[in-house]
Structure 1
Amino acid sequence: MTLPSLADRVWCRLRLDRLAGGRQAGYVIRQDMLAHPDTVRSFRWIRWLLVAETVVGLAAIVIAIVLTHVGQTVPWAVWFRATVVLLITLTLYVFAWRAQLGYYWAYQRLRLFSRVFPIVTLIIAAIPGLYPFWMVVEQILFSVLMVGIGDVLTSDHMRSTFPKPVRRPAP
């Protein structure tokens, strides 16, 4: 048994799709659309962008550790932000994993977060004196990568691959 299939079995046994996806938890797109070369290529790009997000997040923590080690005071906001970026990125990995398996809810969450997080991040980065310059640069890089993920997710192909579920009339 491979690690992805084991992870999927554990995830399903815990019914986490139902918890995370709500009413749309069971809606999965057609298998032929998942196997389409453009879909495969899109998810490959998303994975690479998430890896870059992880590198940016880890770099922020390493910089903060080095600065603390050499005696500089690193504000609490920097530690908080660096930790939150890594946690957000881990969440996005989960959404990308479930979306790649065809779950509409995960595609929608990933798409939503790729739109919201860059805006929030840039607004926070614009607050004067909250973060040192290097952290502002980190936030801009994070936002650019998130916009890249959003761009891939909102391509014509991906929007047609993940059509909105049709609502069933109430009985």
Structure 2
Amino acid sequence: MTWESLLLKIDRLAGGRQAGMRIAEADRTHRKTWRAFTWIWSLLGVEVLLGVGAVAVALVLASSGAAVPIAVWVRTIVVLGMTLTLGYFAWRASGGWRWAYQRLRLFSQIFPVVTLVMAAIPGLYPGWMVTEQILFSLVMIGIADFLTSDHMRHAYRPLDPGSKAPPT
């Protein structure tokens, strides 16, 4: 079994019926598509740094004897895992997989809302975690902005029902 065949099985699980749909090669290699993904990768890198930083702060606080609420531990681990999942979606989307673009776009629009709502619950998180959540949301909104640009929506548009899908 090759790596690509394993990834296609993961794609089938994550992408459902649309797992085999790719965009046209001209759209995938277009300079605006690559520029958008360059920014998206950079912003996802910032998200990973924020996530790792949050884990580090929690570890330092806990090791110095400060009480670190369970909500902080859960949030840091879950968000770091989500960010790595978004990285997988971005990687597959940059390869032209439409399902991955759709998932990345959807989650980059939903996560900031959920994160900001959670940050607004009084007493749930300490101040430093609320600040981290606000920064996380702002960066995620930036990712969503690139994904919803006219060019990206056109490049990853659904195919007409009568047309054939580009080869996978």
TM-score normalised by L of structure 1: 0.90
Matched, 1:96 2:90: yes
Residue of structure 2 aligned with 1:143, choices 128, 131, 137: 137
Unaligned runs of 5+ in 1: 1-5
Q: Aligned partner of 1:159: which letter?
A: R
Unaligned runs of 5+ in 2: 163-168
Residue of structure 2 aligned with 1:63, choices 57, 61, 64: 57
Count of residues in Structure 1 that have an aligned counterpart in Structure 2:
161
Moved over 2 A (4+): 6-10, 165-168
Cα distance in 1, alignment partners of residues 33 and 120 from structure 2:
36
1:128 aligned partner: 122
The alignment partner of 1:26 has SS state of coil
Matched, 1:164 2:130: no
Residue of structure 2 aligned with 1:10, choices 3, 6, 18: 6
Query: Alignment identity in percent?
Result: 55
How far did residue 43 of structure 1 move?
0.5
Residue of structure 1 aligned with 2:41, choices 42, 47, 61: 47
Residue of structure 1 aligned with 2:105, choices 98, 108, 111: 111
Cα distance in 2, alignment partners of residues 101 and 40 from structure 1:
10
RMSD: 1.2
Kindly indicate whether the alpha-carbon contact (under 8 Å) linking 1:64 and 1:78 is maintained by their aligned counterparts in 2: yes
How far did residue 22 of structure 1 move?
1.1
The alignment partner of 1:129 has SS state of coil
Cα distance in 2, alignment partners of residues 94 and 8 from structure 1:
14
2:166 aligned partner: none
Matched, 1:155 2:149: yes
Q: Aligned partner of 1:148: which letter?
A: G
TM-score normalised by L of structure 2: 0.92
Cα distance in 2, alignment partners of residues 123 and 99 from structure 1:
28
How far did residue 9 of structure 1 move?
4.4
> Which structure is richer in relative contact order (CA contacts within 8 A, separation 6 or more)?
2
1:28 aligned partner: 22
Cα distance in 2, alignment partners of residues 117 and 162 from structure 1:
21
